Structure 1
């Protein structure tokens, strides 16, 4: 894992997040959880490079995000073996499964003491700056509500985070 300057990063994050997906992790090497996400944003806000993630409160990883200042976003690639890791981490709860054991992910401690994985081609290490939750009355388009309620789950919490470190797999 090699640390690089964010200025050298030239990934297409619409493609990376929406089609490759990412693992969201929070906690430390001794106690963390990981989940898959295919919704998120990378950009510039408050004169900082930021990442925005959306996590439903009922997700086990939500507890870890709430209790830690640092969150990592790990991109594994599009290969079939990585897709199976994404699928497992997105469909199984860390309450019920040891995701590291089941997927053979290899945890690696980051500079800020958080967790990424040896398999990650790219990791963004982020510090939480702001959190809010989606509110049904705030949706301008009511069509968005199809994503919520019933078996879809609760409204997402949105986290805006400063990207502090960027790592690539050597």
Structure 2
């Protein structure tokens, strides 16, 4: 399987069923080393009249360091038949195991040598535009606090969608 590059506006995405159900795999790194983690929180749309993808990563996550040190990140959404790999990447830390090897992921590389999972249904490569820490001072609804019982607050990364990919059609 292999991803082909397409215009971002050609992707027909049902984001409300993906995030929170199937979830995405966030990757940061390059051809020398990459990290992957499951994300259930993501936003796709336009920010500052730019096509954007927004992801959220806690500082405790192993991938956080690469999100901080690399200019680009990717988001890959696997088909449901590979959902076990999404779950695996969500419950295991890259500090303890090589998730890319364990899941037998084959990678492709986009702009900035950003890794993508080539068996994804679709994937985006994003260039970081804006980074900000979420904090309890910004909370206006107490339901938000349920996500913060033990670990730290997420950092929000707004990335410009610079490349979009989907599974090649024969």
Q: Normalising TM by the smaller chain, what interval?
A: over 0.9
The equivalent position to 1:37 in structure 2, one of 36, 39, 47, is: 39
Kept in 2, the 8 Å contact 1:29–1:108? The answer is no
Structure 2 gaps, min length 5: none
Distance, in Å, in 1 between the alignment partners of 2:42 and 2:111 is 23
TM (norm. structure 1) is 0.94
Alignment correspondent of 2:149: 149
Provide the C-alpha distance between the structure 1 equivalents of 2:8 and 2:157, rounded to a whole number of angstroms: 20
SS across alignment from 1:60:
coil
Q: Which moved more, 1:157-166 or 1:136-145?
A: 136-145
1:107 counterpart residue number: 107
8 A Cα contact 2:132 2:157, kept in partner: yes
* Distance across 2 between alignment mates of 1:100 and 1:144: 32
Runs of 4+ in 1 over 4 A off after TM superposition: none
RMSD (Å), alpha carbons: 1.0
Identify unmatched segments of 5+ residues in structure 1: none
Check whether the contact 2:30–2:113 (CA below 8 A) recurs between aligned residues. yes
Instruction: Give the length in aligned residue pairs.
Output: 166
Aligned equivalents of 1:42 and 1:84: distance in 2? 24
Measured after TM superposition, the shift of residue 118 of structure 1 is 1.7
- Contact map agreement 2:24 2:40 (CA 8 A) in 1: yes
TM-score (norm 2): 0.94
Q: How does 1:41-60 map to 2 (within 5 A)?
A: 41-60=43-62
Instruction: Indicate conservation of the 8 Å contact 2:11/2:166, yes or no.
Output: no
